[in-house]
With several copies, the nearest count.
Chain A
Amino acid sequence: MRYTPHTPSDKEQMLRAIGLSRIEELVEHIPAALREKAKIALPEGLTEVAVKKKMVALAGKNATAQDWHFFLGGGIYHHAIPSAVDAIISRAEFATSYTPYQPEVSQGTLTAMYEFQTLICQLTGMEVANAGVYDGASAAAEAVLMARRVQDGRRRILVSRALHPQYRSVIATYLRNLHDLEMVEIPFTESGATDAEFIAKAADDRTACVVVGYPNFFGVIEDLAPLRAACDRAGALLVTVTTEPLSLALLKPPGDWGVDIAVGEGQSLGVPMTLGGPGFGFFAAQKKFVRSLPGRLVGETVDAAGRRGFVLTLSTREQHIRREKATSNICTSQSLCALAATVFMSILGKQGMRRLAEVNARRAHAARTRLIQEAGLAPVFSGPFFNEFALKVSGWSERRGRFFANRIVPGAPLAEWYPELPDALLICVTEMNEEEEIEQLVRTFIAR
Chain B
Amino acid sequence: MSERLSRADDRRPKLPLIFESGSAGRSGFFWPEEKGSNEIPAALCREEIPGFPEIGELEVLRHFTRLSHLNFSIESEFYPLGSCTMKYNPKVNEVVARLPGFSLVHPLAPPELIQGALELLLQLEKMLAEISGMDAVTLQPSAGAQGELAGLMLIRAYLKEKGDARRKIIVPDTAHGTNPASSTLCGYDVIQVSSNKQGVIEPAMVEQVMDDSVAALMITNPNTLGVFEKNIQAIADVVHRRGGLVYLDGANLNALMGIAKPGDMGVDVLHINLHKTFSTPHGGGGPGAGPVGVKSFLRDYLPVPRIVKKGGDFALDANQPKTIGRVRSFFGNFGILVRAYTYIISLGSDGLEDASRMALLNANYLKKKLESAFHLPSTEPCMHECVFTDRYQQKQGVSTLDIAKRLLDFGFHPPTIYFPLVVSGALMIEPTETETRETLDAFAEAMLAISREAIEAADFVKAAPYTTPVGRLDEARAARKPQLRWSPAGG
Contacts and interface: CB of A to CB of B under 8 A. Distances in A.
B286 A335 contact: yes
Contact of A335 (B228, B285, B342): B285
Contacts of B321: none
A400 B111 CA distance: 13
Interface string A24-52: 00110111011101111111111110011
A62 B65 contact: no
Interface stretch (B87-95, B201-209, B238-246, B390-398): B87-95
B485 A128 contact: yes
B67 A112 contact: yes
Kindly name the residue among B71, B101, B117 whose own CB sees the greatest number of chain A CB atoms within 10 A: B71
B349 A82 contact: no
Contact of A107 (B70, B90, B233): B70
B18 A167 contact: no
B275 interface: yes
A95 B283 contact: yes
B144 interface: yes
Contacts of A244: none
A90 B257 CA distance: 29
A421 B156 CA distance: 34
A21 interface: no
A415 interface: no
Given A27-B259, A274-B335, A58 B479 contact: no
A101 B344 CA distance: 29
A89 B190 CA distance: 39
Interface string A12-29: 011101110001001101
Contacts of A97: 71-74, 79, 282-284
Interface in B277-291: 279, 281-288
Chain A interface bracket (under 10, 10 to 19, 20 to 34, 35 or more): 35 or more
Interface stretch (A151-159, A315-323, A371-379): A315-323
Given A76-B330, A250-B40, A273-B107, A346 B18 contact: yes
B228 A29 contact: yes
A346 to B, nearest CB: 5
A223 B180 CA distance: 40
A13 B328 contact: no
A147 interface: no
B109 interface: yes
Nearest to B72: A105
A35 B69 CA distance: 44
B28 A352 contact: yes
A286 interface: no
A202 to B, nearest CB: 23
Interface in A118-156: 118-119, 121-123, 125, 128-129, 131, 134-138, 145
A5 B59 contact: yes
B18 A115 contact: yes
A44 B36 CA distance: 21
Interface stretch (B292-300, B446-454, B468-476): B468-476
Given A106-B72, A249-B49, A135 B329 contact: yes
B310 to A, nearest CB: 16
A365 B39 contact: yes
A151 B338 CA distance: 41
Interface stretch (A184-192, A204-212, A226-234, A295-303): A295-303
A102 B408 contact: yes
B48 to A, nearest CB: 5
A23 B43 CA distance: 41
Contacts of B346: 1, 45-46, 48, 51
Nearest to B325: A173
A278 B336 contact: yes
Given A118-B485, A275-B105, A301-B473, A313 B131 contact: no
Given A84-B61, A301-B478, A348-B29, A90 B55 contact: no
B267 to A, nearest CB: 11
A59 B95 CA distance: 12
A447 interface: no
A128 B63 CA distance: 24
A437 interface: no
Contacts of A446: none
Given A107-B70, A169-B326, A275-B114, A252 B46 contact: yes
Interface string A81-94: 01110111111111
A221 B65 CA distance: 38
Interface string A173-204: 11011110000000000000000000000000
A213 interface: no
Contacts of B315: none
Nearest to A305: B471
B33 to A, nearest CB: 7
Kindly name the residue among B64, B329, B365, B405 whose own CB sees the greatest number of chain A CB atoms within 10 A: B329
Contact of A332 (B39, B153, B273, B325): B273
Given A1-B351, A94-B68, A114-B485, A137 B180 contact: no
Contacts of B103: 272-274
A177 B187 contact: yes
A128 B486 CA distance: 10
B96 A52 contact: yes
Contacts of B77: 105
A179 B112 CA distance: 39
Contacts of B146: 134, 138, 329-330
Nearest to A91: B68
A105 B64 contact: no
A84 B60 contact: yes
9 contacts: A10-B437, A40-B131, A56-B101, A170-B328, A170-B329, A249-B48, A250-B45, A277-B333, A346-B60
